[in-house]
Structure 1
């Protein structure tokens, strides 16, 4: 497409409208609220995930071993594995009423960030309608299940990729080592694709209005691209500019 004055004007109007909507919706305030509630929710979310994993495996040692091997917790904080094992011991036993109440409390406190996401999405879409308490709570827990499911999927894909790379497993008669560029490209797209799916589901389910899947996936793609750019810029900042000594 050749550059022309009308094309430039259209893009200028689009960017100007985008910035006006960005300011009118208080996007920076919403981002700050999401960051705050994410920090408040990350610990209960982590404990809840470990608890569910412990229940699935049925053994706290297996759960801690899996978490520490994938997340390398033992290398970061060796004493953390002991504390996690103690938490899983009390939760997996399931013999006390306190254990069940503890899980319910974790599930409730972990929803803070997801409630904020629901509020932010409805404000941005300017729905003007509020859901009832039970319907809203259902949407929030759906967000949590989607986030947990996609996180689990990313772990599974990472493990599968590592197994294929280490054992030289062929896929459809093709050894990934024979096509390193294409294989590395596919692997690098796993997480962005999952992020796009997560954002698309948020844009589809979050607003209290009917949103077409086409629109939701377009927004999910744009959000995933911005997320990946921000993630890489933050990683570069930590590697090159963040000097704490």
Structure 2
């Protein structure tokens, strides 16, 4: 009786066999390798591979999500959500099994990160703690944002609704983004406002602290204008006093 190369007679095309084939063919291994290697590039605190594998909740959450997403796409209805729930309990990061996560995505620290069911995150995105990629209501269909490649989302930022965030966009910490953002833009504020369209290829993704502070610039401009007006008023007051003294002398 003829046997297959792996020594199993007439192996069944079961879910377990399919999972093994996917693992060996790189469907899981290739994205996970990118997720692992990007940490050494993006996090200066990453010193060795053991520390990254066992002590980085962002990596754990993405690994569990990739398995849950694989099950979700094959119509499994309970276990993907259970895996997502366990991942949330273990890491503080909640990613719905339906969300699509690109390769090389790094969730730094990650406590409080929420990624909704129809969200799409592009390759090599950098997401900090407290970020929400969520919806704005109970609408059905695509209701979560699509985030492009090489995007940086700062701590506490909220990106809400079925909007498009272009490639290489930088979203400042604490911003609330409710509208589409083109490629190579920087967004800050509540609601989020585009403050520059110029790409800065020499700016490190980690240097999101160098984003301009629009509110502070406006306040400084107002203070400067107030000082100028006060000086003009003082000059006019001095001229009025001089005129009054000249009139009395006459």
- The answer to whether TM tops 0.5 is no
TM range (shorter): under 0.3
More strand by share: 2
Higher RCO, 1 vs 2 (CA within 8 Å, ≥6 residues apart): 1
**TM score, norm. by length of structure 2:** 0.25
More helix by share: 1
Give 1 or 2 for the bigger CA radius of gyration: 2
